[in-house]
Structure 1
Amino acid sequence: MSLETKPFGFPFEPYGIQKDFMKELYNVLDQGKIGIFESPTGTGKSLSLICGSLKWLKDHDRKDPEPTEPVIPPKVNQPDWITALQTKSQGSRKKARLEEKRRELKQRIDRVRKDDLNIEITVKSSKRSKESRQLGDDDEFLIDDYVSDDENGPTTMSNKVNTNSNLSKEVQALLAKFESKKKVSYEDEDEDSDVEETKIYYASRTHSQLTQFVHEVSKTMYAEDTFEVSLASRKNMCINPDIKKLGNVTKINEACLDLQKSGSKKGPCKYLPPADNTAKWNEFRDHALAKVRDIEDLVTVGEKLSTCPYYGSRNTAKSARLIVLPYQHLLHTSTRESLGISLKDNIVIIDEAHNLMETITSIYTVSLTLQQIQLAWNQLNLYIQKYKSRLLGKNVVYIKQILNIIKVLIRHLQPTDISKKKDSVMGVNEFLHASNIDHINMFKIKTYLDVSSLSRKLNGFVDKAKEKEEEERQKQRLLNPKAPLPPASGSLTTSTLTLTQIESFLLALTNPDKDGRIVTSFGTAENPGASIKYMLLNPADAFRPIVEEAKSIVLAGGTMEPVSDFFNHLFPSIPKERISHFSCGHIIPPTNLSTITLHEGPSGKPLIFNYESRQDLKLMDEVGHSIANLCNVIPDGIVCFFPSFTYLDQVYKRWSSIESGGILDRIQKRKKVFKEPRESNQVETTLREYSLQIDSPDKKMGAMLLCVVNGKMSEGINFSDGLGRGVIMIGLPFANRGSVELLEKMKYAQECSNDGTVNAGTEYYENLCMRGVNQSIGRAIRHKGDYATIVLLDKRYGTPRIGKKLPKWIGEHVEKCDKFGLVMGKTAKFFREKQ
């Protein structure tokens, strides 16, 4: 059966564009390519991704394992036919082990499926051996002896080996290695790692999107046979009430790790079985895989089995075929490694990938304020004063070195020469040289911080010191209730894990010089305070390990235009023939969408919202009158997008003034006006009130929502049907070109351009703007029967250079209107035909 006629197991009869999507996806996976897929919201993108990829996985499983090199290398002068026979034999053995592994797991899960998880599950308690040695309060946060950091020797921490003993370095290293093998690990390699099966890793931005994806999987024919598991943070999956109540994700991580230390006074965690208790971990795995489950379902399984869902899901991932996880877990190298995620020869699907490059840049960009740096110095200085006499090996040397680096950062942000107190951008090597720390081996510092867990020890030390200080303050209050309490110590007044942030900054300094910049800022009137930032410029380098390891990568989104940025800035070294770009149209008929560019307002004033003209009061009035007139012909809800919160506030204030002629009052005669709040916790309330107004019995009175491009309303919000009969884009949301960071990114884009004749910096600048526009205007059409008008208020939208950066399903049907009267006529006719 050819791919043309092969059924994909869609839960209902797919549209033609869905069939095309799945066929192209299947081919991309089969050929090991990189695919960029654009499918407008409402076209069943998630189901197409699921059915196309899981169909490929099912077919892939039927094939014999690909031939591999023989375990035993061929002998000298061994005939090729013997080598080929060995390879084939190995492939046969691997296939047999795979089939046996599948059969055993299927039998276990089938048994679980016969049980009802809702009944009470009895779990036998397991005894744990505890260390007989009890640690004192002070020693709890003492780091172990740093044995060695030789270039070619082992680097270990050990509190078992005495460096003052008569044992040689080699013997001590062997003892340390032996001790490390005794430690419990929850990330050990699977015994059958050589027969690992191909997996699909699906990542998206938010937990709600991941949950929605899992629910879509459960609707398909693949739900029964595809073993799926969701990964998430401890904050989302912890079931230990004492840990969960801490709230802060970093504190939860630290507390969890503390409970796992041998001799911990608060541990061990009763929900965490020993790593060698395979029966307990397999019990969780079998129940987790018995159904397609989201994060909340896994938490419920963990609670019923009294087994940690966080570590349980990580263990389950070894047997799962579909692993669902957030962006950061996949994109951040150290997080990926800590979760034991191997992308080797596996499939990676990244949904909502339109902001992928910005997300990668954000993950690897590290900012530090002067206050944070000073706090880190104070805390670490207190620590070394407390433990200096008890720190062995090279601990003191490294801690003093870190203190010196922190002091250099403080001096950099507090220059004695006032003339040097100005914002700057430097290369990493230039910064290291100017700060006189270029002689320090940052890789060794990184290794020391990793091995010693100094950040975690310091955090525990600070928290303990805060508790003691508060106890003393309360004792003084009891002794003398009328006396004022002494102020808290400045170095202990925050819960921010400052050394962890310093560590991230130092790690960034090990990146290639060309990939990032050091940005120093001494603040503004609105945002005072000095700060230093490592800004990543090259997302391709951070993404390269995923590209090199994965068999195939799929980037999908409702709007992926402008696609050129992915080719130029994410896959610059990938041959063009390995990248497949698929963009499908919308499922709505063309008559259900009216897209218009408006070049001038009712009085004939040109609509050009460049940076210079944004303060023009007459332009604010012109756009106000334009919108007020459109309110007369667009029914129900209208969503207006402004370039920024600042401009939205300026325009709203002008419309509210008497000088404008009462523009806002005129609009509110037809539409009740709502504004996007700056505070995230108020967004849901605003949306609910907006929706209630549109659904009110008074159909003559609709609603208007004033939003901001790249704000909370521009992504992930569903303005279907009456909630978004009209979408109005006011101007082009270009970023502030005076920003030193933006200028540096534009400069970097130009330097990396393969074609010197193209202004790659300007192209990057425009693409950044148009991604925001495309996300915003895509909020309106959400399903097959939906209809809406999109009005682009700026003359520049009519230019070919900007027009070609719109999504194809929108850009191919744009009507350019020079005169305002034409827009009114076309819009009125469009909605008259829909009644």
Structure 2
Amino acid sequence: MVDRDYGFPFQPYSIQNEFMNSLYDTLSKGKIGIFESPTGTGKSLSIICGSLRWLKDHDDNGMESNNTKKSDTKEDEDDEPDWVKAFQVTNKAEQQREILRKEKRNDLRKRIQRARQLEESRASFTFGESDPSLRWKKRQKMDNAKKEKKKKDDDDEFLLDEYVSDDENNDKEPTSSNDSNSNLSKEVRELLAKLEPTKSALSNAQEQDDEEDEDNFDQLKIYYTSRTHSQLSQFIHEVHKTMYSPDTWTIPLGSRKNTCIHKDVKKLKSVQRMNEACLELQKKTSTSATKCPYLPSKTERSQWNTFRDHALAKVRDIEDLVQVGEQMGICPYYGSRYALRPAQLVVLPYQHLLHASTRDSLGISLKNSVVIIDEAHNLIETITTIHTITMTLQQTRMAFSQLVQYVQRYKNRLHVKNMAYIRQILSIVKALIKLLEPGDDNDSKNKKDCVMGVNEFVHLLGIDHINMFKIEKYLKASHLARKLNGFIDKEELKKQSSISDQQQKNSSTTMPTLTIIESFLLTLTNPDKDGRIVINYSENNQPQVKYMLLNPAEVFQPIVDDAKSIILAGGTMEPITDFVNILLHHVAPSQIDRLSCGHIIPPSNMAVMSIDTGPTGKSFLFRYDNRQDEKLMDEVGQAIVNLCNIIPDGVVCFFSSFTYLDQLYKRWSQYPQNGTTILSRLEKKKKVFKEPRESNQVENTLRDYAMHIDQSGGALLLCVVNGKMSEGINFSDQLGRGVIMIGLPFANRSSVELQEKIKYASEMNPGQSDAGNEYYENLCMRGVNQSIGRAIRHRNDYATIILLDQRYSQPRIRNKLPGWIGNHVEHCDKFGMAMGNTVRFFKQFR
């Protein structure tokens, strides 16, 4: 292994060096890496130092090598064929382009350095004309100078523009009267364009660069993404610790919800509403009084340049970027997009990277870039969730009503093409309503929950005569959903102005239902094999239809195709087979590197045990059909009581579901053993807390749990696998001296959606007879691994991990545990053996 200096801010451990070396090599070879490094091993710093060292080496050297590829001799130059000469001229043009870009890069570096020096030299730094009202007054004067010829209707802003369908527009090419080829076909003109004389290639390259922003050039990039906003902020904080912070142009990307500084738009509750309001403020028909004052015009490019310079002058998180925008009076949302191309490190949330339309709207190009996806253990589930759309009967009815209302208002002013497409959309929505409505008694008996392919669903609706691809293009080009939502919002405001304040409080905000309908209709253009339609009539007495994505590889494929290299990293990436068999099944095994690091703690700081039986010898086998066994409930309760007697401080216990947790808790609190209940015996040693079902109560529960441990010395927290406390929560030191996993949290196999996913996994891997069961087990073990990974958070931490189920002793299950845990599991067939091991383990830390 090559010995490189990665500029790690501390003396790195051996596993950190191993991680950085492997990461560097994977990036250099342009491969896909699946890296597992336990929490507490400095994973984030290892990612930062390994990837940024690679970026610095290959960015500068790569540009130099491209710019210095020149012929050393002119021998036989005149004898070369014309096509070779043409290639040489074109190649010189590319060289010239690279030279120009390098000059621009140096100029931008100087600008950014000046911006950094300016900020550092002034304690209370302001950006000059920070009041956007000054720009607003300038624009108002320009608008007033342009007299409107006629006053438009108040609702014209929601009227659809004239729409010409793609099949009518294909043959309409812009031509010039001086063009001698204007009478030729499109295909012939395109061919002639490719064969144009190359003598002007150098000048053409110069002209093209002159048309581009003087400082705007593509930059070798690293895109880093993680699951939550707090994780992204923590990553930025870690970058600050490294030697790369001063010289790495970094830009964070976020939604309008996190970056908008317009006070009226910020008041809106949903991101969808904020997006629509923002776009309305940018319309050409808007006057100075209604346009967003934080968006400089094209003639004010220097202000965008200044924002970019200061945004890149320091490594900033979203909050820092918003502060820059507020001080300058420039929109951070669009300002970050302006700074995107020259940036070297782009930090963004999962959804921005994994959703193609969001990437396009942000101007993200992954061509030849590095993509690092942290906390990637749930990547497959995240992709399927983002691309799964659910629509209720209530939403379809509301969308139909709103569309009818819109047509009634504008029917005499809408272009014939718009009317034709809206009528088709109305017929589709009407068919959806008919499908989801319960109907009469005889009809409702035949309406049962079902799953089908997209083609079958389209046929069932009776809309197979409608070209869904044209509908898709129309919805995207016309912005019908946005126009309709704006129209409905205005109608709602009119109604509210005529009712009392109390009535306004009681009225509910209209949901942007056509946006949901549009998202669902767009899924009907997906390949039939990639997803399923699930129709559910019994979901909370609210019939609904859902498009469920089955093939996340289809969504992830463009990222794989464009990116130079991809790193999937996490603290617990096992089981890895799902990534290989489902997400990356089209990638050759030789193109995938794997690394599973051990932990930095000494082996003596962790005790992992699988226990087969309880204190009275009853087998621990928590199958679904055993969960009503009262003796088993009592046995596991007695086991937890005994373990809590010897495990100090905090103990975290995980159950397969809220239902089973509540069932056990009720049993332990009501049925006494030897005169006392199990719950009362637990309370004598440790205060018992339960994970709340409501998300807004989780923080309070965690605070009370930690406070009781700190003040009284012991507490037991009962949690649920895949709940709020099984991921992202840090139970370090005394908060988690013991983690107990009760059973294997297998999902309900009778679920029609899960059955489809298992079936799809089998179809994707026909050579593996057990691929469906493999997927089912992996789904379970991923939840187990995330839960037990809550303990051991740093080098000096220590804890015991206890697995209560005899199936954990099976090699098939044990091999799906993270390496740093699975390799240290001690099988205890008797409960007494586990008690002895636990006593000896904690005795060494007294």
| Residues 1:400 and 2:423 are matched in the alignment | yes
Residue correspondence of structure 1 range 699-778 to structure 2 within 5 A: 699=713, 702-756=714-768, 758-778=769-789
The alpha-carbon deviation at position 719 of structure 1 amounts to 0.4
Amino acid at match of 1:641: F
Residue among 96, 100, 110 paired with 1:97: 100
Tell me, yes or no, if the aligned pair for 1:67 and 1:87 is still in contact at 8 Å: no
The corresponding residue for 1:45 is: 43
Residue among 481, 506, 512 paired with 1:497: 512
| Residues 1:581 and 2:594 are matched in the alignment | yes
Residue correspondence of structure 1 range 468-483 to structure 2 within 5 A: 468-474=494-500
Instruction: Rate the CA distance shift 1:76–1:810 in 2: closer, same or farther, 3 A.
Output: farther
The alpha-carbon deviation at position 789 of structure 1 amounts to 0.3
Tell me, yes or no, if the aligned pair for 1:676 and 1:706 is still in contact at 8 Å: yes
Q: For 1:132 and 1:586, how far apart are their aligned partners in 2?
A: 72
Q: For 1:732 and 1:372, how far apart are their aligned partners in 2?
A: 38
The corresponding residue for 1:801 is: 812
| Residues 1:137 and 2:154 are matched in the alignment | yes
The corresponding residue for 1:329 is: 352
Instruction: Rate the CA distance shift 1:346–1:276 in 2: closer, same or farther, 3 A.
Output: farther
The alpha-carbon deviation at position 5 of structure 1 amounts to 1.9
Tell me, yes or no, if the aligned pair for 1:67 and 1:88 is still in contact at 8 Å: no
Residue among 667, 672, 691 paired with 1:676: 691
Q: For 1:528 and 1:154, how far apart are their aligned partners in 2?
A: 51
Residue among 162, 165, 188 paired with 1:148: 165
Q: For 2:684 and 2:226, how far apart are their aligned partners in 1?
A: 41
Q: For 1:205 and 1:58, how far apart are their aligned partners in 2?
A: 26
The corresponding residue for 1:820 is: 831
CA RMSD of aligned residues (A): 2.5
Structure 1: gaps (5+ residues)? 157-169, 171-187, 478-484
The alpha-carbon deviation at position 147 of structure 1 amounts to 2.7
The corresponding residue for 1:204 is: 226
Instruction: Rate the CA distance shift 1:733–1:190 in 2: closer, same or farther, 3 A.
Output: farther
Q: For 2:730 and 2:566, how far apart are their aligned partners in 1?
A: 28
The corresponding residue for 2:199 is: none
Q: Deviations over 1:534-562 (max 9, x none)?
A: 00000000110000000000000000000
Q: For 1:132 and 1:203, how far apart are their aligned partners in 2?
A: 49
Instruction: Rate the CA distance shift 1:732–1:283 in 2: closer, same or farther, 3 A.
Output: same
| 19-28 vs 112-121, which moves further | 112-121
Q: For 1:726 and 1:438, how far apart are their aligned partners in 2?
A: 58
Tell me, yes or no, if the aligned pair for 1:149 and 1:155 is still in contact at 8 Å: no
Aligned with 2:761: secondary structure? Answer: helix
Instruction: Rate the CA distance shift 1:572–1:95 in 2: closer, same or farther, 3 A.
Output: same
| 111-120 vs 774-783, which moves further | 111-120
Instruction: Rate the CA distance shift 1:608–1:189 in 2: closer, same or farther, 3 A.
Output: farther
Aligned length: 783
The alpha-carbon deviation at position 85 of structure 1 amounts to 4.9
The corresponding residue for 1:631 is: 644
Tell me, yes or no, if the aligned pair for 2:609 and 2:803 is still in contact at 8 Å: yes
Q: For 2:601 and 2:666, how far apart are their aligned partners in 1?
A: 38
| Residues 1:386 and 2:398 are matched in the alignment | no
The corresponding residue for 2:655 is: 642
Q: For 1:556 and 1:638, how far apart are their aligned partners in 2?
A: 28
Residue correspondence of structure 1 range 182-197 to structure 2 within 5 A: 191=213, 195-197=217-219
Residue correspondence of structure 1 range 299-698 to structure 2 within 5 A: 299-414=322-437, 416=439, 417-474=443-500, 493-524=508-539, 527-659=540-672, 661-696=676-711, 698=712
Instruction: Rate the CA distance shift 1:154–1:803 in 2: closer, same or farther, 3 A.
Output: farther
Q: For 1:453 and 1:433, how far apart are their aligned partners in 2?
A: 27
Tell me, yes or no, if the aligned pair for 2:402 and 2:488 is still in contact at 8 Å: yes
Residue among 85, 100, 121 paired with 2:127: 121
Q: For 1:682 and 1:276, how far apart are their aligned partners in 2?
A: 50
Aligned with 1:717: secondary structure? Answer: coil
Tell me, yes or no, if the aligned pair for 1:64 and 1:91 is still in contact at 8 Å: no
Instruction: Rate the CA distance shift 1:440–1:67 in 2: closer, same or farther, 3 A.
Output: farther
Amino acid at match of 1:796: R
Aligned with 1:640: secondary structure? Answer: strand
Q: For 1:75 and 1:610, how far apart are their aligned partners in 2?
A: 82
In terms of fraction of residues, the more helix-rich structure is 2
Q: Deviations over 1:716-753 (max 9, x none)?
A: 11000000000000111110000000000000111111
| 438-447 vs 144-153, which moves further | 144-153
The corresponding residue for 2:183 is: none
Aligned with 2:245: secondary structure? Answer: coil
Q: For 1:784 and 1:5, how far apart are their aligned partners in 2?
A: 24
Aligned with 2:128: secondary structure? Answer: coil
Instruction: Rate the CA distance shift 1:192–1:33 in 2: closer, same or farther, 3 A.
Output: farther
Structure 2: gaps (5+ residues)? 70-76, 174-185, 187-209
| Residues 1:224 and 2:249 are matched in the alignment | no
Instruction: Rate the CA distance shift 1:470–1:64 in 2: closer, same or farther, 3 A.
Output: closer
The alpha-carbon deviation at position 252 of structure 1 amounts to 1.0
Amino acid at match of 1:340: G
The alpha-carbon deviation at position 386 of structure 1 amounts to 1.1
Instruction: Rate the CA distance shift 1:135–1:640 in 2: closer, same or farther, 3 A.
Output: farther
Tell me, yes or no, if the aligned pair for 1:147 and 1:155 is still in contact at 8 Å: no
| 370-379 vs 125-134, which moves further | 125-134
| 537-546 vs 54-63, which moves further | 54-63
The alpha-carbon deviation at position 75 of structure 1 amounts to 13
Tell me, yes or no, if the aligned pair for 2:691 and 2:698 is still in contact at 8 Å: yes
Tell me, yes or no, if the aligned pair for 1:748 and 1:761 is still in contact at 8 Å: yes
Q: For 1:821 and 1:834, how far apart are their aligned partners in 2?
A: 21
TM-score when normalising by structure 2: 0.89
The alpha-carbon deviation at position 132 of structure 1 amounts to 4.5
Aligned with 2:50: secondary structure? Answer: helix
Instruction: Rate the CA distance shift 1:690–1:415 in 2: closer, same or farther, 3 A.
Output: closer
The corresponding residue for 1:18 is: 16
Tell me, yes or no, if the aligned pair for 1:36 and 1:579 is still in contact at 8 Å: yes
Tell me, yes or no, if the aligned pair for 2:257 and 2:271 is still in contact at 8 Å: yes
Residue among 38, 52, 55 paired with 1:54: 52
Tell me, yes or no, if the aligned pair for 1:148 and 1:154 is still in contact at 8 Å: no
Q: Deviations over 1:228-264 (max 9, x none)?
A: 0000000100111111111221111111111001223
Q: For 1:427 and 1:295, how far apart are their aligned partners in 2?
A: 41
Aligned with 2:543: secondary structure? Answer: strand
Tell me, yes or no, if the aligned pair for 1:637 and 1:723 is still in contact at 8 Å: yes
Tell me, yes or no, if the aligned pair for 1:97 and 1:195 is still in contact at 8 Å: no
The alpha-carbon deviation at position 804 of structure 1 amounts to 0.5
Aligned with 1:719: secondary structure? Answer: coil
